[in-house]
Amino acid sequence: MGRRGWWRNFSGDGGPLKIRLDGADRAGHAVAERDEQGRVKVVVRLDPR
């Protein structure tokens, strides 16, 4: 999968992910959404600490 396809891992119901913020690993759930112009955004909801 190329640089422009990673977000497909989070299409549909989305999926779990870990992200490093301010030097700390955080877990969450991400969902990819495509708008009418075909642009993609990935919405991440972080788990409570």
For residue 42, being part of any structural domain is answered with: yes
Over its C-alpha atoms, the chain yields an Rg (Å, rounded) of: 12
b vs e for 14-27, b when ≥16 Cβ sit within 10 Å of the residue's Cβ? beeeeeeeeeeeee
Q: Could you state, in chain order, the average pLDDT of each consecutive group of 10 residues for the chain (49 residues)?
A: 81 96 97 94 95
**Are 1 and 33 contacting, i.e. CB atoms less than 8 angstroms apart?**
no
For residue 1, being part of any structural domain is answered with: no
For residue 17, being part of any structural domain is answered with: yes
Residue 13 lies in domain: 6-46
pTM of the model: 0.80
**Residue 43 has what pLDDT?**
97
**Residue 25 has what pLDDT?**
97
**Residue 4 has what pLDDT?**
76
